Amino acid sequence: MIESSGLWLRASAFKLHSQVGGYMQAFRVSGTAPFGSQRQKFDIDLVADSADDAEHRCYSIIGSRHKANRRSIKIESVSEIDPRTSTEPRILDAFRDQIEAAGGKIAPKAEEE
């Protein structure tokens, strides 16, 4: 306990490091989830601190958009990606400076006909 001008404050009330503006990475999460009456595959690109954080954000986003429980969402893979390969606007906005410094966006591979 710390005394500050007559008030007793807990030491844990003060954060010693900033949690805002930390090192963020781009992740691609793949899996299957119930969308309506069918189970479908999905790929979602996210900005997160770690692979574990990306997994939790994926559960949150799909659960809120499609009313799916975490137990019904099956995540198959979580992989770190180069932000230049994503078409997701959140990724492009979060890594705008890095993409410009690296020479611009990498075009996705054209599908074969």
Closest CA relative to residue 26, chosen from 52, 54, 55: 54
DSSP output for 9-69: E-GGGS-SS--SS---EEEEEEEEEEETTEEEEEEEEEEESSHHHHHHHHHHHHHHHH---
Q: Is the pLDDT of residue 110 over 80?
A: no
Tell me, what's the pLDDT at 17?
44
Instruction: Please state the rounded mean pLDDT for residues 86-98.
Output: 92
Confidence of residue 39 (pLDDT cuts 50, 70, 90): very high
Pick the CATH number of 24-101 from 3.40.640.10, 3.10.20.10, 3.90.180.10, 2.40.30.10: 3.10.20.10
d(CA 30, CA 28): 7
Range of weakest confidence among 2-11, 35-44, 59-68, 77-86 = 2-11
Cβ neighbors of 2 (< 8 A, separation 6 or more) are 8, 9, 10, 11
